[in-house]
Structure 1
């Protein structure tokens, strides 16, 4: 009688796999980004003041668009009222500087923190709504903020007021420090969003966006995660608002709580690619360039923005970067985990 050989002698051990979280493009992009950041940090020593002011404006657009993308593109919460936290952060910065004697540059993160804190009670109202009702509800909340500050005479009422806390600082120093603050905020915003989306909480956020019921059935704390993302997005919006009005030196309710801020953020994210970290970067660059060179054409400029948005949504449904990623596989900020054969599988 012939006996079968032992199982271990005939079976093959399972192949070993590696978890790849970076790509060649992302490693090159990291090196280029570090080099550009270091070069940009030296701009106040050799560049013109107009360049620094342009970058501060671009940084505010980019940070605000990134936070809207985090909230809507990754969290599935489409808000058209994020200007509420943009303006709130700006007003808190101004009040701390003008009335409390706090250095306005220190008041920038404090204004952002105040925006995140006020987002908690606001969420109790906003989260009672869903879908289109949530979007309209956030807009109404922003209008409540605007009307509330318009009736506060201490901050200039409806006509607004000027940031006087920076009067003792010479113009060159003020512009340089504002520029460095903007650069630091951009780097921090990109890094924090990227690290968050690569974590387990980022995976939970994507699960909530795709299907809240299914995510909750798998143990994902849906309400807590949505509140956390809503607070982070409010913090970023408040940071952008405080930074913008430090550079602008004047604030008013109509400027701070204008729905145009969210409209421009939606434009940038849709053009670049919603649900991608690179999307707001590409969209902010395009929007800044169009605003810089074509804004003098008045209504034709606005028509051009609308026409571009229509063309992109029809022919590039995932945005310009989404198209490039599908076509050539570019991913500067990969958040997915890919299993590849590690080549270490033992042979029989």
Structure 2
């Protein structure tokens, strides 16, 4: 474990305590155990279809898609301070691009990935305009972008307006093969994006993002390239949400614009991140699991279920503004995954 020590002494009277040293560390025994446990858990999840029934596989696939959405929205809002209420634009565009690319003759699962890449590429020029907006302007601007994308997709003759269309090439894949392939694709996508965010947060980019979130002017004054750094996380979130939309299409097969461009997807992202803990690495995953559990138990209740979600979100905002994991981390100092640094005090003997 790599540490850097800084010692602090006051005076040398015999009645005074020994000098104190401060060790800056990233890896602890707990973080090493946590990372090992996460890797082992991902391996077990990859083997889960060997013992689970079809219904359980489908539900876990849904959970992985929710996990992707929570991770991407938290990366954007929790670490870069870019609160979006229009990220359903990328979710819907990912599904739409997959339909279009597969219709051109590309194999369906390759089309899912290529569609996300295409949407991420489209997010680059879009970022040149959107990232100049701040605060509420950015949030409203993204909502306008989502509404505009919805209208433009409706004009495509292949989609037939709100009637929608299907991913025809996916229907030709045997049901069991499609279920397993989509499961593994969703798991790989969630794990890959989670480790990607983990790596970014441990790099200089992660520190830059958090500095920008706290104050763009102060970040720029110390040499941080604000716009390129924000563009990186914006494009990554666009890619992840587009891939989630394409994966949802693989599970549903049918594509209806009003479903995929619905603001409910951003509402789900907000709920998962706020309940789990915005600005924490573990929080979005915890929020996704809680949301998944609530949806599984009460999803059939219709409007009552949506009202319940809203009430739960309000209660968390009032009583636990840092979310579940944010509150635990704040009160206990517990950090499972080493995305930041910790300051540890070390007593030194006077003989040192």
Instruction: Give TM-score scaled by structure 2 length.
Output: 0.90
In the TM superposition, what are the counterparts of 1:197-236 in structure 2 within 5 Å?
197-236=201-240
Q: CA deviation at 1:329?
A: 2.6
Give the gaps of 5 or more residues in structure 2: 1-11, 13-18
* 1:69 equivalent in alignment to 2:109: no
- RMSD after superposition: 2.0
Label 1:16 to 1:86 Cα distance change in 2 as closer, same or farther (>3 A).
same
In the TM superposition, what are the counterparts of 1:263-342 in structure 2 within 5 Å?
263-340=267-344
Name the SS of the counterpart of 1:153 in structure 2. Answer: coil
> What is the count of residue pairs matched by the alignment?
335
- 1:264-286 CA deviation, whole Å, 9 max, x = no partner? 10011000100011111111111
1:95 aligns with one of 100, 107, 117 = 100
Instruction: Give TM-score scaled by structure 1 length.
Output: 0.91
The residue aligned with 2:39 is 34
Moved more, 158-167 or 14-23: 14-23
In the TM superposition, what are the counterparts of 1:129-278 in structure 2 within 5 Å?
129-278=133-282
1:79 aligns with one of 72, 80, 84 = 84
- 1:251-303 CA deviation, whole Å, 9 max, x = no partner? 11111111110011001100010001111111111111111111222222222
Name the SS of the counterpart of 1:166 in structure 2. Answer: helix
The higher radius of gyration belongs to 1
* Alignment check: 8 A CA contact 2:88 2:260 kept: yes
- 1:286-345 CA deviation, whole Å, 9 max, x = no partner? 111111111222222222212211221111110011111122332222322234467899
* Alignment check: 8 A CA contact 1:316 1:323 kept: yes
Distance 2:35 2:144 in 1: 40
* Alignment check: 8 A CA contact 1:23 1:331 kept: no
Label 1:168 to 1:275 Cα distance change in 2 as closer, same or farther (>3 A).
same
The residue aligned with 1:54 is 59
Name the SS of the counterpart of 1:155 in structure 2. Answer: coil
